[in-house]
Amino acid sequence: MSSVHVVALKKYYGAVHALDGLNLDVEAGTIFGFLGPNGAGKTTTLRILTGLAHPNSGKAQVAGIDVLKDGGNLARHIGHLPEEPAFYPWMTPREFLDYLGRLYGLSSSERTARIKELLALVRMEEVSRRRIAGFSRGMRQRLGVAAAILHHPEVLFLDEPASALDPAGRKEVLDLIGNLRGQCTVIMSTHILADVERVCDEIGIIDKGRMLVQSPRQELLEHYAVPAFEVEADDAAALARWAEELRRLPWVAAVAARNGAFRITVRDVQAAKRELLRLAVRSELSLNRFEEVRPSLEDVFLQLVGMENVA
């Protein structure tokens, strides 16, 4: 059963086509990673699906509700964490969540139980009576997630939930999102590919307002797998000369520098396994690392949006 169903969605801003016939289908209970380069249409899509903007044409359903015809009933069925969530800084987390609970019509007993549950979930029991004004960005993001799921939404929309966080804060927020699996459908829009690869079950890649591909994460990686090897050596100059030699071989598709190593994309894996090390020895290279690598989500993303040169 689909929690989010979008057909031929279009949104224009003058001559700019932010969405150009977008199609999207997300099954209930999925953590869905919504990827795309800047300006691809991710935020516009989320604004439409949360009732904050209207498309020029197309259809959109969220939690069984027609967003375009019955958007007034949408708020009680969804949660939304924008990229920069807003709070009343003079409130404490407990006060803020209680205030939201009243807006959602939760009874006093429901609010008490739910706030206790959420403060434990986001690990904020010890700071629940501190003013939000003094919170770090990571703490504010965790509180934002708690606020977004306070009323048990069927679908949760997250716009760049970890983009501005340090590694510790990002881990906390991603762990929290992972813990929501099965409790609700999560649509996570982000440009941080490693975050999506870590936590999402299914991935959609959008570019220029159109969905390029939508697939379960592992199937996507396997489908777009490119046989490749990575090599590191002490002598960078010798390694570069060796790489230039490899480029002339018929079974080598490409050789590119990446993160201090050379990635060798091949057309024939067996030939590469037989020849690469032999050629390295003949060139008197002292190798620090030689390995066959599996494709990353970054590799797939760059293939699909045509940004290999940017990488």
Q: Write out pLDDT tens, residues 78-119.
A: 999 998 889 999 999 999 999 999 999 999 999 999 999 999
Q: Write out pLDDT tens, residues 112-152.
A: 999 999 999 899 999 999 999 999 988 999 999 999 999 99
Quick one: pLDDT band at residue 203, thresholds 50, 70, 90? very high
Residues 281-307, mean pLDDT to the nearest whole number = 81
Residue 258 has pLDDT above 80, yes or no: no
* CATH 3.30.70 intervals, the chain: 228-293
Instruction: Identify the pLDDT of residue 144.
Output: 93
Instruction: Identify the pLDDT of residue 311.
Output: 36
Q: Measured on CA atoms in the order 243, 244, 247, 251, is the torsion positive or negative?
A: negative
CATH code of the region 228-293 = 3.30.70
Amino acid 189 reads S
Residues 223-251, mean pLDDT to the nearest whole number = 87
Architecture of domain 2-216: 3-Layer(aba) Sandwich (3.40)
Residues 46-52, mean pLDDT to the nearest whole number = 93
Residue 309 has pLDDT above 60, yes or no: no
C-alpha distances out from residue 84 to 80, 179, 228, Å: 11, 22, 39
The pair of three-digit structure tokens given for residue 92, joined into one six-digit string:
């404490």
* CATH 3.40.50.300 intervals, the chain: 2-216
